[in-house]
Amino acid sequence: MMLGNHRMNNHNKRQVVFISAFHDYRTPKRASIHQIADGLVRAGFNVSFISTRFSWLSRKKGDSRLFLWNKSNIIETVNGIKCFLWRTALHPFRTEIGFIDSIVGKLFAIYANTPSKDFDNLIKPADYVILEAGIPAIYLQRIKRLNPTARIICYCTDRPDTVGSHPAISRILVEDSKLVDQFILRSAAMADYFYFAKDRLYKTGFGIDHAQFSNIGISPYNDGANTAVSVGSMLFDEKFFDIATRAFPDLQFYVIGSGTEMTPASNLRTYAEMPFSDTLPFVKHASIGIAPYRPAAGVEYLADSSLKLAQFEYFGIPAVCPHFAVGTSRSRIGYEPGNEQSIKDAISAALAMAGKVEPRKFPDWSEVAMRVLEPTSFTDTSLD
């Protein structure tokens, strides 16, 4: 495998910095950005992970990174990755109150230039800076000032408007998009949203850390019971389970890390966010999987970008999800959110398929990570 341009040789010493406004590398929940960071470590890169949008306000909002409060503003190395959770006094956020949001939108530029020697010192030597599409876009000008030669990559697993980012974020992303060398999309369905960078759009799919998946524990379920599992909190629709638990009293539902208070039911068990590896036995040994997304702007891309749906495919588990997330997969059964009969039909169809789905194969995350860094070196990253 060859890397492009001046970054081809001696990549053992190449520096990669990730910037996220929601994830810290050390949180139990694992998104693809964590997996790509691990994949780059395995490939021999020096990796740093900066987590921002964290302040005293985070205590009010129940941020998943609160357990790291006393480790914020300190660089800690975990699994070979330098981790920096940048805590400030306050941070701007979306209020969904028009006139207040118009004021808050002007604060992002001030927030983006808050002094931090650690942030700056991690950016300055970087060969690549990978930002999640969304709030990290506010740092584009700062990154370019600190390190004019770094390759800046926008990793787009979600559309900012879909996940409810402040409207100013999309505006900043468009205005400063010229500073980004490449936009990596998890779904070609997102291309229209990123129209302003159509000459720099590429796509990558999912990967698997095969070592992590090679020694999954025993089933956490009771023998003989049909089980349905949901993992994660993105666009989580708790109303799905109000319908499903009543309609299928003999089906045991397990919901992990939804971040939502749910109506108790005798056939529903809920768990707080847990380490990724601890979720795998629940997924592998389930009868069916559930991806209970609620509708939002442009959600059709979830058919390609949903990590939980990809994991269900990897284990050969039929999945229930809204029609907009079915895509071309034959192992997914769609339903209309809020429609009781539609949900019943989808669950029944999935249960009938249990044990009959062929598992899907995925590349290693290291292979995916190289496509994120150097997409022009691979033919399968083209949107065409």
Which residues 6+ apart lie within 8 Å of 43 measured at CB?
Answer: 11, 366, 369, 370
Q: Strand 46-55 to strand 15-20: parallel, antiparallel, or no bridges (unpaired)? A: parallel
* Strand 151-156 versus strand 182-185 pairing type: parallel
CA proximity to 290, closest of 246, 241, 250: 241
**What is the spatial distance between Cα 304 and Cα 308, in angstroms, rounded to a whole number?**
11
Q: Angle 248-253-255 (CA atoms, 0-180°, nearest 5)?
A: 145
Query: Which residues are identified as catalytic?
Result: 158
Q: Which residues contact 56 (CB under 8 A, 6 or more apart)?
A: 89, 90
- Exposed/middle/buried for 298, CB within 10 Å: 0-12, 13-18, 19+? middle
Whose CA is closest to 122, among 177, 77, 89, 90?
77
